[in-house]
A and B are shown apart, each in its own frame.
Chain A
Amino acid sequence: MAEKIPIYYLGKKHLVPEGVTIMSAIEYSGHRLIRGCGCRGGFCGACATVYRVPGNHQIKVGLACQTRVEEGMDIAILPYYPAQKKISDFKPGDDPVPVLNKMYPEMFRCLGCGACTKICPQDLAVMDYIAEAQRGNLDAVAEMSFDCVMCGLCASRCLAQMVPYNIAMAARRFYAAVFLPRPDYVKGRIAEVKEGRYDKEIDSLVSRPKEELQKLYETRDIECI
């Protein structure tokens, strides 16, 4: 059994095994989570956690399912943070800046303090992608914000009271729906399917006995890596 170290969950002391994640430690302490826990794999952002460690004035953050406990850490999981989300409003031909301005005008009130970037548990350059959004550089916002799990921590810190992750969400969707290529072959394939181009071939497979299918399967040609 690993060595036990003290942690404080919502101010209450618990002894937990060294090296485990914050989430495991909270459960080890007898708490059965309802909120503040989702995928348990670092994807969903349900377990955004703020904490302090002894002898350091700084507030620290992490996803509870991905962050290991430290001796004496004082922990709270942020179960929810109110956010404003505007209805997406863009179409081909639209200029990014006015679209984003209309949806989230507060974006232009960024004070450049960097609190959002500092707190992001995904290490995203939040303040910088907001700057790119102000310039209408959707591709840059999309790339820079791609790993966002929408945990809400940036919104909790923003002095301009914006919700950076929803601005990034709008920018990514706008970019993907309007500016990313749409290869002709996708449309072509959909038309082929609709016209029944594959019906006969596939129906012949649907009705085929296992032995014959097996032969076709075993001898099919496989594209190289």
Chain B
Amino acid sequence: MPYPPHFDAALESVAATRNFRKGQEIKRLSDEERTALIADYHPDYRSEGMAPLALGANKGGRVPVELKKMLEAYSLFQPLNINLTEPDYTTDILVVGGGGAGCAAALTANDLGARVLMVTKLRLGDANTLMAEGGICSAVRPEDNPYMHYLDTIGGGHYTNIPELVKALVMDGPEIASWLMDMGVMFDYEEDGSLKVNHCGGHSRKRMLSCKDLTGLELMRVMRDELRDREIPYLEFTPVADLLLDEDGRCAGAVLYNMETGEFNIIKAKAVILASGGIGRLHIQGFPTTNHYGATADGLAVAYRAGAELIHMDSIQYHPTGTVWPEQLLGQLITEVMRGHGAHLVNVEGNRFINELECRDTCASACIRECTKNELGIKTPTGMEGVWLDTPLIPDIQKHFVGIYQRFKKYDIDIQHEPILVFPTQHYQNGGLAINPQAETSVKMLYAAGEVAGGIQGKNRLAGNSLLDIFVYGRRAARSAFEQLKSVETNGNLTAGHLLKWQESLQELGVPKEQQSPIFLPDYTPAGKG
């Protein structure tokens, strides 16, 4: 499906201004202008999209309405009926989630000699990590340093990040890069043997290390292979339906759900590391998403019922450049590195409207303004709207962005000569479970790492910082869990008392019985779509 004739005029405008734009400087916004733009156009600021929580550790706090339904929900099983005395599995450390953070945690715990079991909802590695295109930021070059990485990250997060978490992030960065190289990750290099580094939004230095435009795939393949090399046990298609506590209120296991047989199983563990990822498949405010099939906020739901605190859960990241056309690729990510390589954002008249290296929330808000108030978006025959990402500005695009080039070629769109139609797409949950630099949540022996954790990135994450975050906090979680294991002599009996109490509170609030979570997967059948 190449661009229909409908797009001809808009395609001509973008081609006509291309040469002029090459020399055009667009000033970055002042802090005031940026704040105003975001407040006016960012989806987080639409009042109908958020609602306060009626119970739990963050009672009164605002969260997206779609998430509220997951948090204020009953367990999938009747807590009274579940037998906790004969666990089906026992382990030292239970790692929940088989993406980047989970694998980093499992490998690190295994290094330390802990007994680890990983459970994951889909296949090992089928996670958002694997879908990351651009790269991982780490201040390793002589021209760069952790100080600048800190400043960029906290400024990009509008000073809402937890400072100690940012410090750990940037200081661990170089060691993480080296750890990945040791494991055999194929990073990109310049001919002189230095690491290839890319620019991306909000970073003041070129610090994004890449593996072509399939960085996440390469990282995930290597970690998965290493996990198999070490024969670390893992259970696929087995997500967590609830967390279990011991009589002292420490996290001490979980109720697992076998998605293929419908069975519930009990696992007893001395520590639990939640690395269960994000929220995109809840389709917040109806947005399409870049996320994988299983991103349904399970970790937030089960941890919240177990008493864990959330942070910044009113903050969702919309990636400015999600695909709009062809419709089959709707919402799929076009890496920010394209803008780092000079691709412009252009409206229907062929004009730029924002400095493309502004942060994601700023660029996304500008794209939304262009398509709403300014009425300068490009409309598709199917009623969607977007702006151009002018890819022909990038030399040798078919070589540097082979994945994206191929994906569009299948639909007869040649991004060497034609721009891509884009609009913001739900990409990342900025908030999550509150943690400290040891990756501890507010529930004892419950750790969180990766997208399910919050506070590190503040209310706006910079590109390349999440691939770093998953490894930094995955490794930290494993180390602190292992450290704490020594002090957990024997944890007492498992209880589901917190789930019973939760159930009572929901009943008092009049929450309907059908409101259960986690949902594990979205339902895209006609019946599920309603």
Using A41-B131, A147-B214 as known contacts, say yes or no to A185 and B140 having CB atoms under 8 A apart: yes
> Min CB distance, A163 to chain B, in Å?
13
> By the criterion CB–CB under 8 Å, are B186 and A189 in contact?
no
* Complex: A221 Cα to B148 Cα, angstroms: 10
Q: What residues of chain B lie closer than 8 Å to A220, measured between beta carbons?
A: 148, 151-152, 155, 204
Q: From A180, A186, A217, give the contact of B174 (CB < 8 A).
A: A186
Q: Is B193 an interface residue (CB 8 A)?
A: yes
Q: Chain A: which residue is nearest B328 at the CB level?
A: A21
Complex CA–CA separation, A214 to B194 (angstroms): 33
Is B150 interfacial (CB-CB < 8 Å)?
yes
**Chain B residues within an 8 Å CB radius of A88:** 184, 225-226, 229
In the assembly, what is the distance between CA of A183 and CA of B229, in Å? Answer: 27
Given known A-B contacts A177-B182, A185-B142, A205-B150, A43 and B131 have beta carbons under 8 A apart:
yes
A189 to B205, CA, bound (A): 16
Asked if A3 is at the interface of the complex by the 8 Å CB criterion, the answer is: no
Judge whether B371 is part of the interface by a CB distance below 8 angstroms: no
B189 interface residue per 8 A CB criterion: yes
Per-residue CB contact flags for chain A residues 36-47 toward chain B (1 = under 8 Å, else 0) read 011111111010
Q: Do A38 and B292 contact each other (CB < 8 Å), given the known contacts A198-B145, A198-B146?
A: yes
Pick the contact of B163: A28, A201, A205, A217 (CB < 8 A).
Answer: A205
Q: How far is the CA of A220 from the CA of B211 in the complex (A)?
A: 28
Tell which of A5-13, A52-60, A167-175 binds the partner. Answer: A167-175
- A111: interface (CB < 8 Å): no
Cα A180 to Cα B193 with chains together (Å): 8
> Who on chain B is nearest to A194 by CB?
B175
B147 & A198 in contact (Cβ 8 Å cutoff): yes
Q: What are the residues of chain A within 8 A of B127 when measuring CB–CB?
A: 39
Give the interface of A toward B (CB within 8 A). 19-21, 24, 27-28, 30-35, 37-44, 46, 66, 68, 85, 87-88, 123, 142, 146-150, 169, 172-177, 180-183, 185-190, 193, 198, 201-203, 205-207, 210, 213-214, 216-218, 220-223, 225
A43–B142 alpha-carbon span in the complex (Å): 33
B347 CB to closest chain A CB (Å) equals 22
Q: Contacts A149-B217, A183-B195 known; A34 to B260 CB distance under 8 Å? A: yes
Which of A37, A85, A175 is within 8 Å of B293, CB to CB?
A: A37
CB distance from B145 to the nearest CB of A (A): 7
In the complex, the answer to whether B225 meets A173 with C-beta atoms within 8 Å is yes
Q: Residue A189 contacts which of B140, B151, B259, B410 (CB distance < 8 angstroms)? A: B140
Alpha-carbon distance A176/B242, docked complex (angstroms)? 40
Count how many chain B residues have C-beta atoms less than 8 Å from C-beta atoms of the other chain. Answer: 88
Nearest A residue to B259, CB-CB: A34
What CA separation (Å) do A213 and B163 show in the bound complex? 11
A interface footprint on B147-174 (CB within 8 Å = 1, 0 otherwise): 1101110110001000110110011001
Q: How far is the CB of A177 from chain B (nearest CB, A)?
A: 4
| B212 CB contacts on chain A under 8 angstroms | 146
Q: Are B328 and A68 in contact (CB under 8 A)?
A: yes
Q: Is the CB of A175 within 8 A of B186?
A: yes
Q: Which residue of the partner chain A has the closest CB to B166?
A: A206
Contact A34 B199 (CB under 8 A): no
The residue among B222, B260, B357 with the most chain A CB atoms within 10 A of its own CB is B222
Task: Indicate if B402 sits at the interface (CB-CB under 8 A).
Answer: yes
Chain B proximity of A24: nearest CB distance (Å): 7
CB contacts (< 8 Å) of A189 on chain B: these are 139-140, 145, 174
Q: Given A46-B122, A66-B407, A202-B147, check contact A176 B292 (CB 8 Å).
A: no
Inter-chain contact A216/B151, CB cutoff 8 Å: yes
The CA-CA distance from A207 to B141 in the complex, in Å, is 26
B220 to chain A, nearest CB (A): 8
How far is it, in angstroms, between the C-alpha of A212 and the C-alpha of B317 when the chains are bound? 26
Contacting residues, chain A, for B174 (C-beta < 8 A): 186, 189-190, 193
Which of A41, A173, A177 gathers most chain B CB within 10 Å?
A41
Given A42-B407, A180-B189, A206-B167, A28-B526 contact (CB < 8 Å): yes
Contacts of B521 in A (CB 8 A): 32-34
Residues in B327-347 with C-beta less than 8 Å from chain A: 327-328, 332-333, 340-342
8 A-B pairs besides A40-B292, A123-B406, A189-B145 with CB distance below 8 A are: A35-B260, A43-B131, A172-B221, A175-B184, A185-B194, A186-B140, A202-B147, A225-B342
**A30 and B147 contacting across the interface, CB-CB below 8 Å:** no
Contact indicator A44/B126 (Cβ below 8 Å): yes
B130 interface contact, C-beta 8 A: yes
